Amino acid sequence: MQEVAKLGYTPHPIRGELQTVVAAIGDERTHHTLESLTALPQVERVLPVQKRYKLVSRESRGSQTMVNVDGIEIGGDNFVVMAGPCSVESEEQLLSTAHAVKARGATILRGGAYKPRTSPYEFQGLGKEGLRLLELAKRATGLKVITEVLSERDVSIVAESADILQIGARNAQNFQLLIECARSKKPILLKRGMSQRIEEWLLAAEYLLTQGNPNVMLCERGIRTFETYTRNTLDLSAVAVAKQESHLPVIVDPSQGCGRSDLVKVLCRGAAAVGADGLLIEVHPNPAEALSDGQQQIGFDLFGELVTELKPFLTAANRRLV
Ligand code: PEP
Ligand code: MN
């Protein structure tokens, strides 16, 4: 009791025959964490009653958050398709893809200018030139643009060209980067880390919201498992949990999610059925020649087929394509 009070909480004991439960009332944001009490011999367990993610949690808001991306409302009944190449490679590649995905139902163009590659010898992205090409594609098509920010250093320059800042799986818990991105006030798409628990993912989103930026979307992109038939295991149950636990829109990236172009279409249906608010799909004019992730990118025809065949699933899920 005294120890609880010392940490600044009000103790309320509930005495049982063998054990005493001490309810500690107070706000974790302004007091010390109670977990340290487990170090005391008389303490068996410390159990948080409230969710650790306060602003992200569904209870903190009466309604679903709608993220407004320069006029496109994401969330609620709306379903958004973001599509484009894994990497921006050239003007021709990006512009042809932008026109193709727009004609087939996408409203947001994806494309990495700064690429987080596993090997330093692989294509690292066009950098500033890639951003210029994204702006060009945006002007030519009217599509909004999402692109990844790799480092704190690049936040302001990427924010000038992009409508949505993408935080990649490898940076999902780079908290300084998260804070800088949030401060830009741009809408943010936060990928789930490849071995991140759902709670950790939601806590990473909490970092963004604590900076006063409510325009956050969560993105499930597959996690590392023992499976080898797919590059990652797309965790659709995490989408359902994230929708239950939080008020933020949840986007599914089936491309990184499975790493196989032949599975992208069916996983999109699964995403729609489980309650996702949108998709992030890799599309390339010629996947065989892609400078990154060729095995999982789909061509224009397959993308068109995918969107057409997705529509009945969206209707069944009470969603409309925006
Ligand atoms: C990507 O979208 O191309 C990408 C690198 O994603 P992730 O961070 O999910 O691996
Ligand atoms: Mn990729």
Q: Ligand 1, atom 9: nearest CA belongs to which residue?
A: 169
The closest alpha carbon to 193, from 154, 158, 165, 219, belongs to 219
Q: Ligand 2 center to residue 40 CA distance, Å?
A: 48
Residues with CB under 6 A from ligand 1: 86, 112, 116, 168-170, 191, 221, 253, 256
Q: What is the pLDDT of residues 264-287, one digit of tens each?
A: 999 999 999 999 999 999 999 999
The C-alpha atoms of residue 96 and residue 235 are separated, in whole angstroms, by: 32
**6 alpha carbon – ligand 1 mean position (Å):** 46
> Where is 135: in which H helix or E strand?
helix 128-141
Q: Is the pLDDT of residue 49 over 80?
A: no
Which among 294, 298, 240 is positioned nearest to 270, based on CA atoms? 240
**241-267: per-residue pLDDT in tens?**
999 999 999 999 999 999 999 999 999
Q: What is the pLDDT of residues 194-204, one digit of tens each?
A: 999 999 999 99
**Would the pTM count as exceeding 0.85?**
yes
Q: How far is the CA of 174 from the centre of ligand 1 (A)?
A: 15
* Calpha distance 234→238 (Å, rounded): 9
Residue 20 clears pLDDT 80, i.e. is over it: yes
Q: Among 269, 282, 320, which Cα is nearest to 97's?
A: 282
Helix, strand, coil shares of the chain as percentages rounded to 5? 40, 20, 40
What share of the chain has pLDDT > 70, as a percent?
A: 100
What average pLDDT does this structure show over 24-34? 78
* For residue 150, pLDDT beyond 90: yes
Q: What is the pLDDT of residue 286?
A: 98
